[in-house]
Chains A and B, each alone.
Chain A
């Protein structure tokens, strides 16, 4: 080291004063490590990527422990309830004990008299409404006039300790007038004397329909006529909760300078920031939202919440910090989990084994509030228009309010249930056509760089490789329809957005989705300011990796500051699987600015031409003569000469995408992820118990920036999805009470239920993704549900259409089958497959398409490919512009309304502004 010190060159400093060139700081090494060729996308044969030139071999593509992992495992991470401020008070929320009631009066006098109670607040203290979507702000900090579900906040108290706060809650007398509660989602479609919300002129009749969607694309009239095989199913999906480890907790502090700091484990600090300003009626700059460590989110911490408002209101009243921590039961009252749903789906295939039509009708139970429901209603339809090329798509969706805890966004938002129905339908179609279900899928895939029937622009597609690899890894060809009775194997696929294309609060061309600021001072460490919310998914790590990669630095020289809205640039937060794609892209562009400054400085120092310099490990050198170069610190200090610390800002905005029909923006994303899973199960035919033995899980994430993290996401998604397929269910008993708001009776699978999962990473190198990456956080959940359902069919010949497949449900279906076939459960047979002639046709088409896809993936200058080419249309023009039978319609006509399907019947009402309701 002392030798090194003498060699320091290139910047003017007094020797011995500031010993920057310590080991690890990249001071003055003569040569640099060569680039890690394995890590370079271009070299791996994935094709050219715009970020290939930025690859330095330092971080991207290497299995990397999360940068905040040690904080967690050493117990030093502060989650919401770990924040302790001097003088804190404990807040508790008074909750409704009725499903639906008018609040007549609230008597807080006894509570206020209790020693130790400092303040009480009710709905009168804050009347401003909020909601995660600007179009449906239907929530309040506390009840204004009505309570809408058991657990709905009515009032809140702040006291010196938890016992006093709990006692004060008991002392608050609320007088209610009970209203007739609505529990069955089907009832929400009808007119009501007392709809759960009033949306004014936009209210749909006098019903409880919160949102309805009608979409018809393609050859709707022809689909049934063209079909030689049709599969119909009528699904019921129970509601599911995220089941994250950390219950909601919040600390609000209206500090002495008159500003509010809200400490909260939030996925989307920016929306809370906005909602607080609305509800508290203070300007946003007076509020600092401090995201604490988040003990799991999965969509359940992405809405602004009433308890966050309550804590702030109580802190304002008392002038002291107020902390609210939930019991698990309260987590279930806030919920925002997967919607209980009724989905009817018909799939049609023609004589060539093409999917000539999909008809989906989805009624989803939104519970008491809108939350993300507007989007969920669309997602239940539009997110199963790919990865297959289809001849027609008919979708009717409706979301209704009921007097249950609100449903919302949960990992795989809106796509999970209908994807399950769809992929099970594919299995049914394959059965009818007597073809292998994987072959059927391979022969119907959209190619890379194509447009779906509703006009989504799809870039990279790794679907084919996903299917081929799970087929191979699972030994599919030896097992499918060949395993003994009770033992089965099944396949399912998934397709998910990699970042919602539309920012909720502004036009996509007006303001970026994500912005990242960098600051590099004399010490050489890079401080990254980002608003992306680290919720355990690894967003801090992926941003650090992206910056480290571009600047050629080790990860420990990158410091992430992502906690506070005071310092972080506005970011839309962690939902819709947008962070890696959008935030890492923003980070890369910020890092490119710094990189350019470093290259310019190095060019000046070495007199080498700028374009021949490359960045390696803490060194900038000439590509062809690595001996000529300067260390990172030398270049940095040179660059800092006139201005001090280097700062830069990078932003990400989505390109213009999609079509123009109403609702065209829902489901638009700059890229999409794809996945295919095979699950192997055993079913105990006497008890109906399903045991998942092994899962082969292939996911196309574009490029695994952190393979360790991607594998973790795949395995974690499997666990979460298995919960929904096997045992998780929010059960509502007689009287509509949620009877299992606790983790003993809300049955999350344990280690015993968890099969071995073989994660398979597929890299399709997305042209717009950061270093080619796409999402891996939500998409991997989708295929496990249908894969298990299809495996159960393979095992015992029973096609489920209700989740979860708890043993009692499977047993009932086995009994029904036994009754029909007059057999004993132990003597039933599993299904067999004798290929029809179509199998060979499909295999030939699949291999033709494989070639087509390979060419499209590697050639950037291809003609357009629109859904419909498989049906004989010119691929360069949308089929609806070539054939008048291919329709684009977003409102039902009178023919449809003569016999609408269940959710479709939501269209029988006129909006109030058009003369409906009263």
Chain B
């Protein structure tokens, strides 16, 4: 496997990075940001939508800050996993990403912006040529989707990153910077559309950091991940359930988010609110689990069949919720 040739840029500050991006944009040249490189570079080796320029963020010092309420995009996943200042559930979810070697290189920003994955896409160039390409990487052929043929309006490649659901439930705000300036939004609004668009980042924009609200220590919960092997594998399904307790000990606030099931992570506010209004303990958890199962629509493009993943969403939701019954 060899990567296609590209020019590597190594800016030393955020400003320099953004001005580089602006310049490339102005001259009509496409580029990718590279953070830890654990996702982008294998994709380059497979010639998946590679670009002639790559801007490395490794030398940008502004992106590495880590505190309870501020997580820089360039914080390494293993540092997040080992951290005792961040919310413990965030550390737990981070520790479940891939393997320790990948976590030492991979970053929070990279994990949030992880490219979507699909059996028909994450393959070598020769392999994809043998299926006459696919919608996500059509190499100029206008190829159809191979998962659900006869529809090429939406890419159904799956978002398989572990951090997003926990961060969404913690109420994270994501901060972006770009040649046109900075902007922020709730993480739940960051993800958008399908397996190709993936999120709101426009050309030249990047994620700088995430901030968390001051009340995160009041939130308890769990993240459950389905995978074949306990290391390395991407989530075939992931469910985060977080809650706050009211004075009587029953949950006063409840958030549920999922990953590994669709082209973007799911934030299931109506399902959570639905059971919270008529909370009755264990049966409410069953109800919630069933509602989340119904809310997700996995397709056949990862290791496990979609019917199984969907059923497991119910089990994972129940397990992630079980702490709510503990007094």
Contacts and interface: CB of A to CB of B under 8 A. Distances in A.
Nearest to A162: B2
A806 interface: yes
Interface string B113-129: 00000011001101101
A327 interface: yes
Interface string A732-774: 0111010111101101011111000000000000000000000
A588 B124 CA distance: 50
Given A741-B127, A806-B304, A808-B308, A749 B229 contact: yes
Question: Which of B2, B124, B126 has the most A CB atoms < 10 Å from its CB?
Answer: B126
B127 A752 contact: no
A102 interface: no
B143 to A, nearest CB: 14
A807 B124 CA distance: 28
B131 A735 contact: yes
Contacts of B231: 750-752
Contacts of A744: 232-233
A95 interface: yes
A687 interface: yes
B327 interface: no
A150 interface: yes
Contact of A97 (B2, B130, B226, B308): B130
Interface string A385-422: 00000000000000000000000000000000000000
B305 interface: yes
B308 to A, nearest CB: 4
Contacts of B119: 733, 739-740, 745
A734 B315 CA distance: 29
B312 interface: yes
Contacts of A166: 2
Contact of B229 (A95, A98, A329, A750): A750
A329 B127 contact: yes
B311 A811 contact: yes
Given A750-B230, A750-B231, A752-B230, A329 B124 contact: yes
Nearest to B234: A744
Contacts of A735: 131
Interface in A772-809: 806-808
Nearest to A743: B232
A96 B229 CA distance: 33
What interface size band does chain A fall in?
20 to 34
Contacts of A751: 231
Contacts of A807: 228, 304, 308
B101 interface: no
Contacts of A150: 127, 130
Contacts of B312: 687, 811
B37 to A, nearest CB: 16
Interface in B120-148: 120, 123-124, 126-127, 129-131, 146
Contacts of B2: 162-163, 166
Contact of B303 (A329, A747, A749): A747
A566 interface: no
A184 interface: no
Question: Which of B127, B131, B146 has the most A CB atoms < 10 Å from its CB?
Answer: B127
Interface string A622-661: 0000000000000000000000000000000000000000
Contact of B228 (A96, A727, A734, A739): A727
A879 to B, nearest CB: 48
A327 B124 contact: yes
A739 B121 CA distance: 10
Nearest to A161: B2
B304 A808 contact: yes
Contacts of A327: 1, 124
Given A166-B2, A327-B1, A737-B130, A687 B315 contact: yes
B131 A329 contact: no
- Tell me the interface secondary structure of chain A in the complex: loop
Nearest to A752: B230
A747 B312 CA distance: 20
Nearest to A727: B228
A745 B5 CA distance: 27
A751 B2 CA distance: 29
Interface residues of B, number: 27
A598 to B, nearest CB: 54
A686 interface: yes
Nearest to A99: B130
B234 to A, nearest CB: 8
B302 to A, nearest CB: 9
A673 B5 CA distance: 54
A97 B230 contact: no
B232 A750 contact: yes
Contacts of A739: 119-120, 123
Nearest to A808: B308
A97 B129 contact: yes
A752 B229 contact: yes
Interface in B216-250: 226, 228-233
Interface string B93-127: 00000000000000000000000000110011011
Nearest to B224: A687
Contacts of B120: 733, 739
Contacts of B229: 727, 747, 749-750, 752-753
Contacts of B130: 96-98, 150, 737
Question: Which of A162, A163, A744, A752 has the most B CB atoms < 10 Å from its CB?
Answer: A744
A811 B308 contact: yes
Interface string B20-63: 00000000000000000000000000000000000000000000
Nearest to B303: A745
Interface string A360-389: 000000000000000000000000000000
A327 B1 CA distance: 6
Contacts of B126: 95, 97, 329
Nearest to A95: B126
A162 B232 CA distance: 29
A356 B304 CA distance: 41
B226 to A, nearest CB: 7
A440 B196 CA distance: 60
A806 B131 contact: no
B228 A806 contact: yes
Nearest to A328: B1
A808 B131 contact: no
A750 B100 CA distance: 13
Contacts of A753: 229-230
B105 to A, nearest CB: 16
A327 B124 CA distance: 10
Contacts of A747: 228-229, 233, 303
Nearest to A726: B228
B232 to A, nearest CB: 6
Contacts of A742: 123
A745 B229 CA distance: 11
A727 B131 CA distance: 26
Nearest to B314: A686
Interface in B152-189: none
Nearest to B119: A739
B46 to A, nearest CB: 9
Contact of B305 (A96, A162, A752, A808): A808
Given A734-B146, A737-B131, 18 more contacts: A96-B130, A97-B126, A150-B127, A327-B124, A329-B123, A329-B124, A329-B126, A329-B127, A735-B131, A739-B119, A741-B127, A744-B233, A749-B229, A752-B230, A752-B231, A807-B304, A808-B304, A812-B308
29 contacts: A98-B130, A150-B130, A162-B2, A327-B1, A329-B124, A687-B226, A687-B312, A687-B315, A727-B228, A727-B229, A734-B146, A735-B131, A739-B120, A744-B232, A744-B233, A745-B119, A745-B303, A750-B229, A750-B232, A751-B231, A753-B229, A753-B230, A806-B228, A807-B228, A807-B304, A808-B304, A808-B305, A808-B308, A811-B311
Q: Which 10 A-B pairs have the closest CB atoms?
A: A752-B230, A97-B130, A808-B308, A750-B231, A739-B119, A686-B315, A747-B228, A750-B229, A150-B130, A808-B304
